Structure 1
Amino acid sequence: MKKIGVIPLRKDSKGIPGKNKKKMLGRPLFSWVLTEAIFSDLDAVYVFTNDTEIISYVEREYYWTDKVFALLRSEENADDTASTESTMLEFSEEINHDYDVLCLLQATSPLTLAADINTVLDKITTEKYDSALTVVNTHRFTWNSDGTPQNYDVFNRPRRQDFEGLLIENGAVYATKKELFLDSKNRVSGNIGLVTMSEETLMEIDSLADWNIVENLLMGRQKAMKTNQRIQYLVLDVDGVFTDGGVYYNKDGEMAKKFDMRDGMGLEILRENNVEVITLTSENSKLVAQRMEKLQIKEAFFGIKDKYSFLKQFLATKNSSFGAVAYVGDDVNDLTNMCSSGWSFAPANATSIVKLNADFVLGSASGAGAIREVCETLLKYNKRYD
């Protein structure tokens, strides 16, 4: 049974301009659900958008997986009046209805996990429902506009533990069999299964205040998932970690960066103690490539904007997890990895938001012994596991 997911994105947003591309915890909003879809049981995931910038980003960033595709959506189905169903029908026609189960994923539900997607799919593939969707069980009392209660007796108010609550769509995940979708032209129909997600996933992102709340929820969730174990991988950003963040230019372009020689010795000692060193940078720099080669760092990756999804895939290929990672970063594009890794470090001159969320703020600045300090700290930490 072929299961595919579609993430419809519009170029414009009135509530929050450029919402789908806006950085949430250092990553474009849509990349949160896209990454979870990649690691779910879906056979393929399509980003369906009228934004060519997003299409270019997807094609560039997710080269490491054969599950992700980006397709151009018509302008007619991307205006304020277009329904999600009309967009789904256009998408289905675009791929010649080549699927058995179609799964709709919403970029504005960044708290969605691969497990949620899989549970919805299982409702159809295993439990034999025709379609399924995610809901939240909320214990709230609702009222009619005429001042009458909808779901309880005001003279016999139930205790929370005695109240079944209400099941409300959270708009995160929907799935349906192809034949029912093409017949009903609706995202769910027939015998419908329900999958309950946590109450915080009911939060909608319609304003900057909503955005900040959801971002904090994501930050807290990633930190809560941290585990403690022996550190096997030290993952380092480059600019602002290896270097002081500065770069010298001449008329021909990038001319020089400053590195601290003591950092190189620390990394060599760390490798001798069975910790693999990895660099992950969003830049493409010949100078950095030369320095990594000099330091004999074989796992050096350049031009990586979505560092979290890339590292998640890298660890999967190593049959490892974020718990085995110590991560050093200095700016917002490192935030998700820092909130997810077993141990995170920030140089003394990192940005304030990074230092606020790091497990350990170093006494040394970047390009001035910060990495050496990390190496010495990790050697001491790993002794408890040796």
Structure 2
Amino acid sequence: MKKIGFIPLRKGSKGIPGKNKRKMVGRPLFTWVLGEALQSHLDEVYVFTDDQSIIDFINKEYHYTSKIKALLRSSESATDTASTENAMLEFAKQIDYNFDVFCLLQATSPFTTASDINACLQEIKNGKDSALTVVNTHRFLWNTDGTPINYNPFNRPRRQDFEGVLIENGAVYTCNKEVLKNKNNRLGDNIGIVTMPEDSLHEIDTESDWIVVEQLLIERQKRAKSAQKITHLVLDVDGVFTDGSITYTKDGEHTKRFDMRDGMGLEILRQFDVQVMVMTSEQSELVAKRMKKLQIKDVFLGVKDKFTLLQNLSKTKGFSLNNVAYVGDDVNDLSNIVSVGWSLAPHNAMTEIKTNADVVLSKNSGNGAIREACQFIKNYNKRF
């Protein structure tokens, strides 16, 4: 049974311009659900968009997996008035309905997890023809004419005695091929229900919404992590190995300054069976040469979505994010900073990083910060 994910994206966004590509906790908004879809039981995940820059981003960023694909949608299906079903049907015809189960995932629902997706897929496996995610809210609802919908105001129930009501949160919809093909709709006649946490009811339509959702995501990631024995150290480069500055020669070549003490710290750490990885958004031959000199084999250059890559590495290499120590200095490190077992920031890191890191080092980047981090890990692991 072939199960495909479908994430529709439009260039236009009136409430928050460029919303889908804007960084939410340090990574493009749409990559939150895309990364979870990658970890789910879906066989393929398609991003369907009229934005060529997103297609280029996906083709470059997720080269390590064949599961994620991008297709160009027509301008007609990407207007303000076009329905999501219109895009779904256009896409389905474009791939000649080559699927058994269709899973619509909304990019503006960053609280969606792989478990939520898998739960909806399980509903189809259990015999439902479609499924959707909901939130059980204990709020009291009213009609515009002043009449209550779901409770008696003269016998107001206590929260613990009130069953509440189920509300669509718009995050995940699944259906079998026959439903989409015959009803031209995301839902059929035999619908399964999957409940998600109440936080997922938040929509991102205004700048205020963005602030609320981002803070809730940060807190969710922090609550989920657990500090365990550190088996992997993952490092950013600029602003961690270096002080973040670049020196250009008259011929246009640039140079970076590395601290030799950091290299020795990493060498000592490897003697204690801690694997070292490097993950940077920059595509630099100079960095590649330095890491080769340091005998670091796992070096990932030009990475924009660091969190999805780290998730994928943990799955393929068999380690938990709780066993990871991560050192980063800027906003594109934030998702990893709030998600791993231990996060560390150089003393001169950006405020957003130092606010959320578990440890703020006393040394600056490029001036002993990595060596200090290595010493912390060595001492910390002694308790295990």
TM-score, normalised on structure 1?
0.98
Matches of 2:209 and 2:374 in 1, distance apart? 39
Checking the alignment, whether the CA contact within 8 Å between 1:247 and 1:254 is kept in structure 2 is no
Equivalent positions of 1:256-271 (< 5 A) are 256-271=255-270
Hey, what does 1:128 align to over in structure 2?
127
Hey, what does 1:83 align to over in structure 2?
83
Hey, what does 1:141 align to over in structure 2?
140
Checking the alignment, whether the CA contact within 8 Å between 1:111 and 1:201 is kept in structure 2 is yes
Equivalent residue letter for 2:298: E
- Secondary structure of residue in 1 paired with 2:131: strand
- Secondary structure of residue in 1 paired with 2:269: helix
Cα deviation 1:49-80 (Å, max 9, x = unaligned): 00000000011011111111100000000000
Checking the alignment, whether the CA contact within 8 Å between 1:11 and 1:18 is kept in structure 2 is yes
Hey, what does 1:51 align to over in structure 2?
51
Hey, what does 2:102 align to over in structure 1?
102
TM-score, normalised on structure 2?
0.99
Equivalent positions of 1:159-308 (< 5 A) are 159-308=158-307
Alpha-carbon offset, residue 251 of structure 1: 4.4
- Secondary structure of residue in 2 paired with 1:91: helix
Matches of 1:243 and 1:352 in 2, distance apart? 18
Matches of 2:62 and 2:250 in 1, distance apart? 33
Matches of 1:254 and 1:17 in 2, distance apart? 36
- Secondary structure of residue in 2 paired with 1:196: strand
Alpha-carbon offset, residue 190 of structure 1: 1.5
Hey, what does 1:65 align to over in structure 2?
65
Hey, what does 1:375 align to over in structure 2?
374
- Secondary structure of residue in 1 paired with 2:117: helix
Hey, what does 1:332 align to over in structure 2?
331
Equivalent residue letter for 1:171: G
Alpha-carbon offset, residue 42 of structure 1: 0.4
Matches of 1:200 and 1:299 in 2, distance apart? 36
Structure 2 unmatched runs, 5+: none
Matches of 1:287 and 1:29 in 2, distance apart? 31
- Secondary structure of residue in 1 paired with 2:45: strand
Matches of 2:251 and 2:172 in 1, distance apart? 50
- Secondary structure of residue in 2 paired with 1:180: helix
Matches of 2:227 and 2:262 in 1, distance apart? 25
Matches of 1:298 and 1:209 in 2, distance apart? 43
Hey, what does 1:17 align to over in structure 2?
17
Matches of 1:252 and 1:30 in 2, distance apart? 40
- Secondary structure of residue in 2 paired with 1:326: strand
Matches of 1:97 and 1:269 in 2, distance apart? 55
Alpha-carbon offset, residue 231 of structure 1: 0.5
Alpha-carbon offset, residue 134 of structure 1: 0.3
- Secondary structure of residue in 1 paired with 2:154: coil
* Residues 190-199 or 244-253, more deviating: 244-253
Matches of 1:168 and 1:255 in 2, distance apart? 55
Equivalent residue letter for 2:303: I
Matches of 1:164 and 1:225 in 2, distance apart? 27
Matches of 2:316 and 2:106 in 1, distance apart? 28
Equivalent residue letter for 1:128: G
Alpha-carbon offset, residue 311 of structure 1: 1.0
Aligned length: 384
Checking the alignment, whether the CA contact within 8 Å between 1:132 and 1:174 is kept in structure 2 is yes
- Secondary structure of residue in 1 paired with 2:46: strand
Equivalent residue letter for 1:177: N
* Residues 87-96 or 225-234, more deviating: 225-234
Checking the alignment, whether the CA contact within 8 Å between 1:104 and 1:173 is kept in structure 2 is yes
Alpha-carbon offset, residue 91 of structure 1: 0.5
Matches of 1:38 and 1:254 in 2, distance apart? 38
Hey, what does 1:74 align to over in structure 2?
74
Hey, what does 1:358 align to over in structure 2?
357
Cα deviation 1:126-164 (Å, max 9, x = unaligned): x20010000001011111111111111111111112211
Matches of 1:219 and 1:284 in 2, distance apart? 28
Structure 1 unmatched runs, 5+: none
Alpha-carbon offset, residue 250 of structure 1: 2.7
Matches of 1:182 and 1:226 in 2, distance apart? 42
- Secondary structure of residue in 2 paired with 1:144: coil
Cα deviation 1:251-275 (Å, max 9, x = unaligned): 4433210111111111110011111
Matches of 1:139 and 1:173 in 2, distance apart? 21
Hey, what does 2:118 align to over in structure 1?
118
- The CA RMSD over aligned residues, in Å, is 0.8
Matches of 2:250 and 2:68 in 1, distance apart? 39
Percent identity of equivalent pairs: 63
- Secondary structure of residue in 1 paired with 2:204: coil
Matches of 2:50 and 2:65 in 1, distance apart? 22
